[in-house]
A and B are shown apart, each in its own frame.
Chain A
Amino acid sequence: MSSTSTQFATSARMGMYDPIHQVSMWESMFRGDIIPNSDASVPVQIDASLGNKTLQKTIQKLTKCPKRYKRRLAQNREAARKSRLRKKAYVQQLETYRLKLAQLEQELTRARQQGVFIGGAIDTGHLGFSGPVNTGIATFEMEYAHWVEEQQRHNCELRKVLQAHISDIELRILVENGLNHYDNLFRMKAEAAKADAFYLISGTWRTSVEGFFLWLGGFRPSELLNVLMPHIEPLTDQQHMAVNNLRQSSQQAEDALSQGIDQLQQTLAQSIAADPTGLGNYGSPMASAIEKLDTLENFVNQADHLRQQTLHQLSRILTIRQTARGLLALGEYFQRLRALSLLWAARPREPAYHI
């Protein structure tokens, strides 16, 4: 889009490096709205708007001590030149990061399709883990990647359809599909939990920002309701009450599960600490520790069950249209979390150019 690329060029031309402006440029870049000006040699012009007073002063200086003043000018020119070069280097570094990121993403998708087990975070240093490949987890990795793509397709369709005029009957089909899609995710996670519940809890299968919000291997249902609320308004009083009750019930259930996990941690720690013969000996403390680790799978399943029930209960409280908007808002929210993670991973760490 010409207007935004002009914006980009203008800020470069003015020699300004407003970080907030820059981030929104990156976002536009990421959305694919604008193609960055690859010609990084846009000259930086030092603001040369001389008013009358300054002009007088310049003439004065020139006539009084021309040598000193001329040297000063030369130094300024040199400084400006160096500044331009540093900026060029910085922009080129950004471009390199961007390309590298795109490359890594490609490799990741390719490798996943070949069934190689790779952690979900884009972390260039690590590739999988040292140990036998866990096929249950490898399967999940692959399926989850497909699930995310499918989710994005669902979102696009919902977005289009909500802008057009579609009958409630047709919308219902899309909403059912959307809810089923989440049901599929929970089914997949149940299988993965059997293989390795720790993997789900660690959140390595999600992007970094999603991982930050992780609760027991996924999103927190009560928080989800907070995210969705603005997008499903207006609600009737009855609906408001029902949603508030749902949020409260969910919070209570989440607290109960959280306390259960804390209890598990405590008793597990005690079991391990109580082993008098040291690690690796399958005396009774270690055996009971292994048993406790097994229950982690149950907790992960219960957390997913809460998520699933919250979504379904919400769909019962809302009209079809409201549910559709809610599902779209949910999809977009997670998409933004993922995009934020990518921006974060691509951020320059040691800029050569300083403001």
Chain B
Amino acid sequence: MDKINRLASENGVVIFSKSTCCLCYAVNVLFRELQVMPVVHEIDQDPEGKEMEKAIMRMGINGPVPAVFINGKLIGSTNEVMSLHLSGSLIPMLKPYQALSAS
């Protein structure tokens, strides 16, 4: 879907979420812990929300939220983010988008 891809490529780290989704909140917390500020799109607040939901599910994300994109590419949902982080592969992907730390 165009809107999804457009929104995904507008920013480095993008999370498609729903305002009621606490798991999405958890994923957001993790990114912030890693010094990244993801852009969160709440599809239940979007007029085209239903379309977006279908599109995300067609991409293979059953949630359909959270759906995480890094650098315009679909990374996956909570499972994928957690696996990547534990294997040490997430931080390298986030490097270009990490805010400069105060220390």
Q: Which A residues are closer than 8 A to B by beta carbons?
A: 242, 245-246, 249-250, 252-253, 255-257, 259-261, 263-264, 267, 288, 291-292, 295, 298-299, 302, 305-306, 309-310, 313
Contact = CB atoms under 8 A, between A and B. Distances in A.
Contact of B20 (A256, A291, A298, A310): A291
B59 interface: no
A256 B86 contact: no
Contacts of A245: 88
Contacts of A313: 86-87
A253 B34 CA distance: 10
Interface residue SS majority, chain A: helix
Contacts of A252: 30, 33-34, 85
A310 B86 contact: yes
B22 interface: yes
A305 B83 CA distance: 8
B101 interface: no
7 contacts: A253-B30, A256-B30, A257-B26, A259-B25, A260-B23, A261-B22, A261-B26
B86 A306 contact: yes
Interface of B: 20-23, 25-27, 29-30, 33-34, 78-79, 82-83, 85-88
- Residue with the highest number of chain A CB atoms closer than 10 Å, among B26, B33, B79: B26
A309 B83 contact: yes
Contact of B85 (A249, A267, A292, A299): A249
Given A245-B88, A310-B86, A302 B78 contact: yes
Nearest to B63: A298
A306 B83 CA distance: 8
A246 B87 CA distance: 7
A203 to B, nearest CB: 21
Given A295-B22, A305-B82, A309-B82, A256 B88 contact: no
Given A252-B33, A299-B26, A302-B82, 10 more contacts: A246-B86, A252-B34, A253-B30, A256-B29, A260-B22, A260-B26, A263-B25, A299-B22, A305-B79, A309-B86
A292 B22 contact: yes
A295 B21 contact: yes
A306 B84 CA distance: 11
B26 A259 contact: yes
Contacts of B30: 252-253, 255-256
Contact of A255 (B33, B79, B86): B33
Contacts of A246: 86, 88
Nearest to A271: B20
A288 to B, nearest CB: 7
A46 to B, nearest CB: 64
B29 A260 contact: yes
B23 A298 contact: yes
A263 B82 contact: no
B93 to A, nearest CB: 13
B75 to A, nearest CB: 15
Contacts of B29: 255-256, 259-260
A264 B21 CA distance: 9
A299 B23 contact: yes
A21 B15 CA distance: 59
A255 B26 CA distance: 8
A260 B26 CA distance: 5
A261 B25 CA distance: 9
